[in-house]
Structure 1
Amino acid sequence: MGRNTKELSVYKRIIKTALKELPADLILSNCNLLNVFTGEISRTDISIAAGRIASIDKSSGKAKKVLDCSQYYAVPGLLDGHVHLDSTLLTPTQLSKIILPCGTTTVFIDPMEIANVLGLRGINSLLEDAWGSPLKTYVQISSRVPTAPGLETTGAVLGVREVVRMIRWGTVVGLGELDPSKVIPPQDEYLLKVIATKKSWKVRVGHAAGLSGAELNAYASAGIGDDHECVTAEEALERIRVGMKVMIREGSSERNLEELIKLIIKSGQDPRNFFFCTDDKHPNDIVKEGHIDYNVRKAISLGLDPIKAIQLATINCAEHFRLDDDVGSIAPGRFADVILVRDLEKFKPEIVIANGKIVAKKGKLLVGLREYRWPAWSTNTIKIKRDVMPADFEINSSKEVQAVRVIQIIEGQIINKEIKTELAVREGKVIVNTANDILKIACVERHKRTGNIATAFVKGFELKEGAIASSVAHDHHNIVVVGASEADMARAVNEIKRMGGGLVAVNQGKILEKLELPVAGLMSMHSPEIVTRKLEKLNQAARQLGCKLNAPFMTLSFISLPTVPELGLTDKGLVDVRSRRIVPVKLD
């Protein structure tokens, strides 16, 4: 009853303000309002009360504060339709410091990273941190913890009981990304999660990399509502045809916007079937490019009408998650999340308003944020049985030349290819071939001290020497390391153990650069400026070792993913994603 009384008071305040019986808290006077429902731009006033829009009537009445907006277009705060906050390497509070000034006022998060490390209590801590910021955080409950049962070791499990309980939370908008292996063939555990979500009238988020034809139809028939894994326009169109929405992803290592936006610009597909997400984007890329505002600018530069681009970043996402009565538009009753820009085509947020308050101006955050104190157990998650040795990464062979499977990464994409090659054998050990860019990659278990270490081969990093390693490794988040030298690989893994989690670059036994990630081995407690600076130095160190990838550590974090074709590497071995089984690295 107490909560209803408070909400009753808020609504009375808004209604009386709209009727001009009470003064508004803030009026945005004489602005060019972009109406995302109609596509119209009209000169009007925006009246704000109790953190919500009271009126978009030209004569808005009196106000405690009036802001002259005659030089601005007023557009809704931007929405990120699917993001793993913990993959940004920043805690939610620190992340909000750089994405609020970009105009992102609402995010839809899947906290599967921290869930796979620390389970439900990790999710609760992540949300406690997130809710200390004006950034609105809605949750897609992680559906796959672990992602590949039996094929990996994780730190925690979220079963049907936990998902059914969490789906009732008011901040939960749906079930987090569910990969095809969970419903093809049908598995009771995951279908029960889908059913619970559907009964709550909430969305089921997809993750259908490489799926097509009969399998895509089967996947959609399980009630999956969207997909953010489309790489080609043909894949995206297939999903639209079966009633799924397409999230156009533009992250650090997965760049899909340029290809997918063709469906709207060149093929004339209905833009209402699309909206934007970042999925995984490092802070240095956010600082350099922007966040969802970058997606808007890039879409416009490729020929998309600015109004349609803004609709993809706002109302389309809000309607999909059934929150359009709260976010995604500037209309009576909605949260007062407004961006003021001078030019729609250039789309540079100059003033950002969240919950009716000015929170950022000209790229600078103007409000103080509550700093969350992470519990001690969340910073003690690197539990390796013993220090690793160079010999732990050796692959034996009795042949002179050994045929092997190799993970070939694809720049700008999350997917990879399986290729086969032959490598020389020296003193009974298969050796790397840096001239042909065939390096070793290994996954070291770090949750339960099992001692599991799996080693394979990878192509695409182009390291000529040294090694790079990370405790961010989707979705199990064991330690993943790639290198030209077993000794440097061991040095890198042991340094991550010593740091309690993080990223590191090593050469000839020397630590070149590192970034500590003590929170669950995933996130730093430092400011975005410090993390960005350290990440840039790490990327530069990787380049000095020969790597030419734009985001080497983001790419490294996805190499071990056992649910995205064609190969993944976990602590238990090399996974053939399509057959969902461990396959040998060496070929007869």
Structure 2
Amino acid sequence: MQKNKENLKQLIRAGRGLIPAHTVIRNGNLVNVMSSEIYLADVAIYEDTIVAIGDVTDYIGPETKTIDATGKYLVPGLIDGHLHSECSKLSITSFAKAVVPCGTTSIVSGLDEYISVSGLEGLHEIFAEVKASPLKVFWGAPYKTPYTFPQSTVAFNFTEEVHKEVQQWPECFGVWETVREAVQVEDEDTLGAIEQAFKNRLPIFGCAPMVGGKDLNGYLCAGIRLDHESYDHTEVVEKMRKGMHMVIRESSVTHFLKENIRAVTEVNPYLARRVSFCTDDVTATDVLEKGHVDNVVRLAIAEGVEPMTAIQMATINSAEAYRIDHLVGSISPGRIADILLVDSPENFQVEAVITNGRLVAENRKLNYDLKAPARSSVLSSALKCKKTTREDFEYKVDIENGQAKVLSMDVKGPFVRKRRDVTVKVQNSIVIPDTEQDVLMVSVLERFGRNGNKSLAFCSGWNLKKGAMASSAAPDDNNLIVMGADASDMSIAVNHLIENGGGQVVVADGEIIEFLPLPVGGIASDEDAEKIAHREALLTKAANQLGCNLPEPLMYMFFLPITAIPDYAITDVGPVDCIALNTFDPILELIQD
């Protein structure tokens, strides 16, 4: 994507037909997202760039390769407008192998989970990995790390001073996931990141769930351009009427498209041109079974969106929202040659994928062997925390026997936790988890060797009858989270992850039931999606056998440290009231026998 005088001269000459194209696509039906038309047209490609559309006879030389697209539709490569690829537990290489054959050729990401565990040094290694893959990553510098309020512990803190450096990098296309709370409390580092973005003319990407009225007005006055977090279509409408681009999310655990697309199908069809798509957090299982952004296109069409409009939402709308439409988002001269061959706009089944001018995938598979790079110690998954004992997960109080009224964080969806007051037993000065009342212990342990923090609180909604679950992948700080009905099993789960360099584990009756290793930073794996999906299924089955009936038990658990969505969360500094933005004591009252 870098331009210089010499390659510009070559591209200009190729565009004028003075030198032959390297590749031409013949006889396809061009889906022109710029003009909302479909018509027969050829495409000429020089190196990685589209140089002509229409009749390209004059662009063909003796060495020009031809791709026959007879009967197929030519669609721009799809763009995921907000994605934490790390939450799939797939490395960039493995993720590219899974989603590029589905037609996703670009993602917008902060790569923030990698930053939280490896800092800028690890980020540079990920940038190198991206360049070797067929998947483009338009990187937004995280507005700060960690995202949590109060501030939790991560391996690297992204500050205003860091922004002064990284916003000058060629990889930087904006400021990533600027949460409403940080703006509202006038956080100095956040405002500093925004100040730098204005100086550098970079867009500011938002994250403002369930915000409206005066709070939304104040947020927009900070210069936020777009948002990917709306919980109903009325929220979408208000934000769009106030000038925002909206990125509708359809993830593996938050299925918002059906509700949010009503802003277009029921309220105002003219809003469509400023709506785009993202998946945010997806599992390997979902990608294999449903697809990726291509699945979101099909879902939108099923909800009544015209195929052309749905395709625009997945391509040019996203590119324009993120100000990258000069590079991707359309099949136009001067744009990078990311082109899909699909069966029809209505069915939208991707049959072949061209990225950077090269045919890379056919029939849902890459057509070459893409290998992950060797991993340095920077992205090793060593967990720098001490082994635990049962006592680390026993909640001790000042009475010997009696009852404790506790605040249990009750899950109402993957991100929303509400207050639930429950009375449980106290025995030998320990508050006892109560599986009959669905009250479990949950703890987050700092794992970067910075302070040894460890929190402890209560949660509900998982319905575990015994055992424990733990994960070293836990956005947004990726500390070690463990939940369980038994303190001994919780300790065994944590220690297993420490001994094995990270991953996800289910334990029962002192035994390891299932384990998924995550050797890349303790958050991802270089295994193919099929293997990760298989292990995900085994982990879910194990959690189900312990009594949990949530659709994604470990994913619901590893979202508990996110403090950006009301009402409750837990980080290594303690249980958090996400409205008051401070920690709280989960013991509400003690009653002595």
Q: TM-score, normalised by structure 1?
A: 0.95
Of residues 261-270 and 215-224 in structure 1, the stretch that sits farther from structure 2 once superposed is: 261-270
Partners of 2:381 and 2:73 lie apart in 1 by 48
CA distance in 2, matches of 1:188, 1:572: 21
Structure 2 match to 1:169: 169
Pair 1:50-2:47 in alignment: yes
5 Å-filtered alignment, 1:84-483, equals 84-148=84-148, 150-269=150-269, 270-384=271-385, 386-397=386-397, 398=399, 400-411=402-413, 413-448=414-449, 450-483=451-484
Correspondence for 2:23: 26
Cα drift, residue 349 of structure 1: 0.3
**d(CA) in 2 for partners of 1:149 and 1:240?**
27
Aligned to 1:536: 537
Aligned residues: 582
Offset of residue 376 of structure 1: 1.5
User: CA offset at residue 12 of structure 1?
Assistant: 3.1
Q: Does the 8 Å contact 2:149/2:578 carry over to 1?
A: no
Name the CA shift for 1:3/1:560 in 2 (closer, same or farther; >3 Å).
closer
Work out whether residues 401 and 422 of structure 1, in 8 Å CA contact, stay in contact via their aligned partners in 2.
yes
Asked if 2 retains the 8 angstrom alpha-carbon contact of 1:405 and 1:421, the reply is yes
Q: Are the equivalent residues in 2 in contact too, given 1:445–1:478 (CA < 8 A)?
A: yes
Shift of 1:52: 1.4
User: Which residue type is aligned with residue 331 of structure 1?
Assistant: S
DSSP 3-state at the match of 1:568 = strand
Are the aligned partners of 2:403 and 2:425 in contact in 1 as well (CA < 8 Å)? yes
Letter in 2 for 1:513: E
Report the Cα offset of residue 181 of structure 1. Answer: 2.2
Instruction: Report the CA distance between 1:59 and its aligned residue.
Output: 4.4
Once residues 323 and 371 of structure 1 are traced to their aligned partners in structure 2, the CA distance between those partners, rounded to angstroms, is 27
Contact kept in structure 1, 2:468 and 2:507, CA below 8 Å: yes
> Cα gap change, 1:418/1:273 in structure 2, threshold over 3 Å: closer, same or farther?
farther
Partner residue in 2 for 1:41: 38
- Counterpart secondary structure, 2:436: helix
Take 1:149 and 1:466, find their aligned partners in 2: how far apart are those partners? 30
Superposition deviation, residue 150 in structure 1: 4.9
Q: Deviations over 1:522-572 (max 9, x none)?
A: 111322222222122112211121222222222111111122211110111
8 Å CA contact retained: 2:122, 2:378: no
Q: Distance in 1 between the 2:552 and 2:347 partners?
A: 26
AA at the equivalent of 1:356:
G
Supply the distance in 1 between the matched residues of 2:569 and 2:67 (Cα, whole angstroms).
54
Equivalent residue, structure 1, for 2:560: 559
How far off is 1:482 after superposition?
1.2
Amino acid at match of 2:333: P
Q: CA contact under 8 A between 2:24 and 2:65: conserved in structure 1?
A: yes
**Could you tell me whether the CA contact under 8 Å between 1:89 and 1:282 is conserved in 2?**
yes
For residue 52 of structure 1, what is the amino acid of its counterpart? T
Q: Distance in 1 between matches of 2:197 and 2:163?
A: 9
Cα gap change, 1:201 to 1:449, in 2 (>3 Å):
closer
The amino acid across from 1:467 in the alignment is: A
In the TM superposition, structure 1's runs of 4+ consecutive aligned residues that sit over 6 Å from their partners are: none
| Percentage of matched positions with identical amino acids | 34
The 3-state SS of whatever aligns with 1:564 is coil
DSSP-derived class of the 2:173 partner: strand
Contact persistence 1:383–1:447 (CA under 8 A): yes
> What is the identity, as a one-letter code, of the residue corresponding to 2:565?
V
CA distance in 2 between counterparts of 1:381 and 1:215 reads 41
Deviation (angstroms), 1:38: 1.6
Partners of 2:577 and 2:501 in 1: CA distance: 30
Shift of 1:370: 4.9
CA contact (8 A) 1:180 1:208 kept: yes
Relative to 1, partners in 2 of residues 1:283 and 1:13: Cα closer, same or farther, differing over 3 Å?
farther
Whole-Å Cα distance in 2 between the matches of residues 65 and 525 of structure 1? 33
What's the CA shift string for 1:243-275, capped at 9, x where partnerless? 111111111222211111111112224112211
Supply the distance in 2 between the matched residues of 1:370 and 1:505 (Cα, whole angstroms).
Answer: 30
Give 3-state SS (helix, strand or coil) of 2:519's partner.
coil
Residues 253 and 414 in structure 1, CA contact (< 8 A), matched pair in contact too = no
In 2: Cα distance, 1:256 partner to 1:44 partner = 36
> 1:281-309: per-residue Cα shift (whole Å, max 9, x none)?
12121111111111111111122111111
Residue identity in the other structure for 1:319 = E
Write the letter of the residue equivalent to 2:411.
I
The answer to whether residue 586 in structure 2 is matched with residue 585 in structure 1 is yes
- Counterpart of 2:76, as a letter, is P
RMSD: 1.7
- Contact 1:175/1:204 (CA < 8 Å) preserved in 2? yes
2-side partners of 1:229 and 1:436: how far apart?
32
Residue type at the aligned position of 1:401: Q
Q: Is the 8 A contact 2:455 2:572 kept in 1?
A: yes
Please, which moves more after superposition, 109-118 or 314-323?
A: 109-118
Q: Tell me by how many angstroms 1:380 deviates.
A: 4.5
> Aligned partners of 2:441 and 2:210: how far apart in 1?
26
Secondary structure at the aligned position of 1:27 is classed as: strand
Residue pair 2:150, 2:583 contacting (<8 A) in 1 also? no
- Provide the secondary structure at the position in 1 that maps to 2:396: coil
Contact 1:202 1:321 in 2 (8 A): no
Cα deviation digits, residues 186-235 of structure 1 (max 9, x gap): 23321121011122221111111232221111111101111112111122
Give the 3-state SS of the residue equivalent to 1:526 in structure 2.
coil
* Aligned 8 A contact 1:415 1:566 in 2: yes
Q: 1:120 touches 1:158 (CA, 8 Å); kept in 2? A: no
Once the two structures are TM-superposed, the CA of residue 149 in structure 1 deviates from its matched residue by 6.2
| Alpha carbons of structure 1 residues 583 and 435: separation in structure 2 relative to 1, 3 Å | same
Q: Using structure 2 for the length normalisation, give the TM-score.
A: 0.95
Deviation at 1:480, TM superposition (A): 0.7
Q: Could you report, residue by residue, the CA deviation over 1:156-176 in whole angstroms, capped at 9, with x for unpaired residues? A: 112212112111222211001
| Post-superposition CA distance 1:20-44 (Å, at most 9, x none) | x333222221111111012111111
> Within 2, Cα distance between the matches of 1:144 and 1:558?
18
Is the Cα contact below 8 Å between 1:84 and 1:112 reproduced in 2? yes
* Cα distance in 2, alignment partners of residues 13 and 457 from structure 1: 67
C-alpha spacing 1:338/1:467, structure 2 compared with 1 (3 Å) = same
Of 234-243 and 297-306, more deviation after overlay is shown by 234-243
Look up the SS of the partner of 2:139 in the other structure. strand
Give the C-alpha shift of residue 393 in structure 1: 1.3
* Amino acid of the structure 1 residue aligned with 2:121: R
CA contact (8 A) 2:149 2:582 kept: no
Question: Does 575-584 or 267-276 show the bigger shift?
Answer: 267-276
Aligned residue in 2 for 1:518: 519
Amino acid at match of 1:408: D
Q: Which stretch shows the higher mean deviation, 142-151 or 340-349?
A: 142-151
SS at match of 1:82: coil
User: Following the alignment from structure 1 to structure 2, what is the Cα–Cα distance between the partners of residues 541 and 150?
Assistant: 34
Structure 1 residues 43 and 184, CA, compared in 2 at 3 Å: closer, same or farther?
Answer: same
Q: CA deviation at 1:68?
A: 2.2
The one-letter amino acid paired with 2:175 is L
2:551 and 2:129 map into 1 onto residues whose CA distance is 30
